[in-house]
Amino acid sequence: MSYAINKADVTCKKFKGRGPGGQNKNKVESCVRLIHKPTGIKVEATRERDYTKNLVVAWEMLQEKLDNLAAEQAAAAKRKAYQAKPDAAFSSQIRSYVLSGSHQQVIDHRSGFKHPRPQDVLNGDLDGVIRSLLSAGD
């Protein structure tokens, strides 16, 4: 997943390098700092001795950081959607089959359909269940 960078959203600044490295590093503004305004992400490229090389490196670094941010946001959205799903706990079932005792029945909790002979439903007589689901969708 690649984040598209709008160049109008990026501030580019040149600056002189710091520390040891010869006269060129201390005299010439060869380092680059890019700031992505919408996210506040800052990257600096000071490795190369040439401004254009550092600029290319800085854009690559910014692209990588923005791609990582987009991936993190997508993962967070996926986690949020996963956490919002209902638990597969007791009483969240679709259908109940009461097979023992004198009060035998099948109850479809989505449509409220009740069938007094669960053995018929278990043997494949699902016409009543299907009709009730179809009429419940109207």
Q: What is the mean pLDDT of residues 118-131?
A: 89
Q: What is the mean pLDDT of residues 85-111?
A: 81
In order of start, what are the domains of the chain with their CATH numbers?
Answer: 7-84 (3.30.160.20), 95-136 (no CATH)
Query: Quick one: pLDDT band at residue 26, thresholds 50, 70, 90?
Result: low
More confident residue, 27 or 107: 107
Question: Any idea which residue has 């269940």 for tokens?
Answer: 129
How much is the pLDDT for 69?
94
Q: What is the mean pLDDT of residues 5-17?
A: 90
> pTM score, two decimals?
0.59
pLDDT tens by residue, 44-58: 998 888 889 999 999
CA angle 93, 97, 130 (to 5 degrees): 75
pLDDT tens by residue, 68-89: 999 999 999 999 988 887 777 7
- CA dist 28 and 31 (Å) reads 9
The mean pLDDT value of the chain amounts to 86
Most confident of 19-28, 82-91, 115-124: 115-124
Amino acid in the structure at residue 5: I
Beta bridge partners of 114: 107
